Structure 1
């Protein structure tokens, strides 16, 4: 698989360096490069791209503003972002717009390759999962990558018991850990990432792994020591699952 990329930076030397790094990386392909975010947005509205290497401080439309526009799109195929900037104060804000990584200028090819490899694994897993959703049987990846603090962590799907919304984060509960993983992402992103035949949203604040249900009573699901309510908005889907589960 090749990851389709664009580079966006208003500094000519930085743009040329990022473009060179992309071109010498076997699993990346450079589709275009832009010296301003407005032109990049126009291109992204016309062509499907997997990954954007994006500077933050740019005139007219900043990289952060472009990232917010992309994050607001409802398309499941919106590109992922790796920020490239000389300003480290944007790191936390970058993760709030679901950026995959953050390269602080000046960065080496080794640092670029490390971030790109994480992106490749994330994008490949996401595409594999989407392909599986369109099939009648589940033969997809057995793991996902989650952003935990400043790294991508590989998590086996079978170990996830349930997921809970927590402010701007989600708590991912695992059967082999006492404490949940805290990931800066949204419940909607988790729904898109997880295979629908194994995971179900039962509440605004909860997604459950159907394989880990211990019991159900009066629209309350028991998973280990946790009781999770099934809200009215999700009751119909859950009842359909229960009818199949009970035969």
Structure 2
């Protein structure tokens, strides 16, 4: 899946950099670039746009005003926004119009990629939620360094959370993948029929459990403790497992 994007900024150098960032990101497709919000709005009425990288302070029609127009127009309500601005006082207002993210100028490609990946995961989740359970994908994409890596669900043994990162332990791989995401985000993405959170720092694959006790799970040579907060749900699973 590629996200159809447009870039909107009245500063030529900022617009050029933004377009360059979009073009070097594999899961983004640059469909247009505009130096004013009025032309960008006209484009969204005639073309499908998934994501707009949008400056806020522009003449005639500001980025925030464009965002409000898009939000109120149900025919293009699927279009989402990542704001790009030099002024941090707009952050709260940006989230009021349901912006996916907010990039403060000047921003690096790494910061841009983090926001773009968040948008990709948003659309991926929406796409999966819209199809029948039997048709849902058997893989996910993880942000690993500066790329998205396709990971088959059947290969995931367990996930280990570390602040803003998650270690994903895989079948047949001596080293885990290190992904810039949160364990909560992974919990939302992974199907609950196949995965369960049993600890503040762990999500396990139910298919790869080798043995269990009331307080621990063994997956291969790894023993993971079930914390009190998740014990009730885990015991319900255990009763079904042994029943």
1:224 equivalenced with 2:240 (yes/no): no
For structure 1, the 5+ residue unaligned runs are 103-117
Mark the structure with the bigger radius of gyration: 2
Give the match's secondary structure for 1:153: strand
1:54 equivalenced with 2:83 (yes/no): yes
1:16 equivalenced with 2:23 (yes/no): no
The alignment yields a C-alpha RMSD, in angstroms, of 4.2
Pairing of 1:154-169 with structure 2 (within 5 A): 154-169=150-165
- Matching residue of 2:115: 99
Deviation at 1:57, TM superposition (A): 2.2
- Matching residue of 1:188: 184
Structure 2-normalised TM-score?
Answer: 0.67
Give the match's secondary structure for 1:61: helix
Structure 1-normalised TM-score?
Answer: 0.66
How many pairs align? Answer: 212
Deviation at 1:182, TM superposition (A): 0.9
| Alpha carbons 1:81, 1:101 under 8 Å: kept | no
Pairing of 1:1-247 with structure 2 (within 5 A): 9=9, 11=11, 14=15, 16=34, 19=40, 28=49, 35-36=56-57, 38-39=64-65, 42=68, 49=78, 51-58=80-87, 60-61=89-90, 69=95, 80-81=100-101, 87-89=106-108, 91-92=110-111, 99-101=115-117, 119=120, 122-131=121-130, 138-247=134-243
Q: Which runs of 4+ in 1 moved over 6 A?
A: 1-6, 30-34
Q: Distance in 2 between the 1:41 and 1:229 partners?
A: 46
TM-superposition CA deviations, 1:92-134 (whole Å, max 9, x none): 4x56xx51259xxxxxxxxxxxxxxx93xx45532243346xx
Q: Distance in 2 between the 1:217 and 1:59 partners?
A: 51
Deviation at 1:144, TM superposition (A): 0.7
CA gap of 1:49–1:198, structure 2 versus 1, over 3 A, is same
Give the match's secondary structure for 1:243: helix
CA gap of 1:145–1:87, structure 2 versus 1, over 3 A, is same
For structure 2, the 5+ residue unaligned runs are 16-32, 58-62
- Matching residue of 1:110: none
| Alpha carbons 2:159, 2:203 under 8 Å: kept | yes
Q: Distance in 2 between the 1:60 and 1:168 partners?
A: 25
Q: Distance in 2 between the 1:91 and 1:9 partners?
A: 20
- Matching residue of 1:109: none
